[in-house]
Amino acid sequence: MVKNLLRRLMIIYIIQEEGFSKVTVSIDLKINGRAYPVAVEPRKTLADTIREDCGLTGTNLGCEHGVCGACTVLMDDEPVRSCLMFAVQAADREIRTVESLAPSETELHPMQQAFIDEHALQCGFCTPGFLMLATSIYENRPGVSEEELRELLSSNLCRCTGYLNILKAVQSALGSSSTTQHA
Ligand code: FES
Ligand code: FES
């Protein structure tokens, strides 16, 4: 019995150390309109793949378990937390990261400009995630009410700004300015 147990433990050890950890899957990621053929372990997150395999380090990682929203990217125009997804789940989907926003090296996306104008960032760590979340609102829900906007933005965390200026920035980009002073 002890012998059998040891054998099973040895098999589990070999699978974990030398088996599954070396299995990779070849997938095509489409990020910011460009193809990224990558070979990834099935368990690798989309966030890590975007940063490490595609070299797009604008997407930040904070909590790595779906709470802070720092890793938010757009997938088929909807915001997703890239730390909660496996890269293989994103194969052949349209991914957009913060690097896609500025139309050129000398121009900013209206949402980026609004964040600057309204002082909506300090350390900037949360900013890529907020920008992608806000861009999805800008594109998909331009007539959103202030109450709905507060609810939508509450999905992401910022440790610096106190949120009011982020709210103002998004409202400014959306063309509304009804922000009250109780963020
Ligand atoms: S890093 Fe993904 S939600 Fe915090
Ligand atoms: S600007 Fe520092 S965490 Fe938001």
- Count of CB atoms within 10 A of residue 96's CB? 20
Q: Residue 98 C-alpha to ligand 1 middle, in angstroms?
A: 15
User: Can you tell me the mean pLDDT for 13-39?
Assistant: 82
Ligand 1 cavity residues, CB under 6 Å = 61-64, 66-71, 81, 83
Residue nearest atom 2 in ligand 2 by C-alpha distance? 123
Strand residue runs (E) in 10-168: 25-31, 34-40, 72-75, 78-81, 94-96
pLDDT score, position 19: 56
pLDDT score, position 5: 53
Find tokens 């194969």 and name the residue: 91
Residue-range domains of the chain with CATH = 26-100 (3.10.20.30), 110-174 (1.10.150.120)
Q: Residue 45 C-alpha to ligand 1 middle, in angstroms?
A: 11
CB distance 166 to 127 below 8 Å: no
Confidence of residue 181 (pLDDT cuts 50, 70, 90): very low
- Count of CB atoms within 10 A of residue 15's CB? 11
Find tokens 């090296």 and name the residue: 105
Residue nearest atom 4 in ligand 2 by C-alpha distance? 158
**DSSP three-state, residue 2:** helix
Distances (CA, A) of 10 to 1, 7, 18, 124: 14, 5, 11, 47
pLDDT score, position 7: 47
pLDDT score, position 131: 98
